[in-house]
Amino acid sequence: MKKKGYSLDKSKLKSILKISDPFLMIDKVQNIIFCKSGVGTKKIKNNEWFYKCHFFNNDPVMPGTLQIESMLQTTIAVLYAKEKKVEKYLITKCASNFFSKISTSGEIKVNVIIVKQKKGIIESQANIFFNKRKIGNGSFTFINPVNLKIN
């Protein structure tokens, strides 16, 4: 079965996001339906940099903020997959839930849906999976300060 939509590899993501390793939290984004949805993935190895410095003595884990970052990076890739210039947005709302930790090697998968895009406001929802098990979700609101008119 042929996959639908755009795909972005790591080099294209670096160009769009203006983020490089180690803070590039997604290796690729596939099945992108421009400004609607997409799926980001990242391979996690046992020797990742964050395991060496986050609860390293007792139980190293991937910080939740980096998991949120993977959701946000996937969202921006979905919004700008076809664009040459990424506009700057402010994150005005971020709500996340975590159900399980990431503490071993495996694959992160982030499913993103853009639920609203109107007058410089974008709302998205994301689900994050690790080794095919849902471990968290997030909802985000962004504003484009250029398009936002405050009276």
Res 147: pLDDT: 59
User: Is 54 one of the catalytic residues?
Assistant: yes
State both tokens at 24. Answer: 């590039």
CB contact at 8 A, 89 and 13: no
Res 1: pLDDT: 41
Q: Which of 12, 14, 36, 54 is catalytic?
A: 54
Domains and CATH numbers, the chain: 6-143 (3.10.129.10)
CA-to-CA separations, 32 to 10, 15, 75, 103, in angstroms, rounded: 15, 17, 10, 28
CB contact at 8 A, 68 and 26: no
pLDDT in tens, the chain (151 residues): 455 788 999 999 999 888 999 999 999 999 999 999 999 999 999 999 998 886 667 788 999 999 999 999 999 999 988 776 777 788 999 999 999 999 999 999 999 999 999 988 999 999 999 999 999 999 999 987 775 555 4
Q: Computed from CA positions of residues 30, 78, 28, 100, in that sequence, does the dihedral angle turn out positive or negative?
A: negative
User: How many residues in total does the chain contain?
Assistant: 151
User: SS3 for 23?
Assistant: coil
H helix and E strand count, the chain: 2, 7
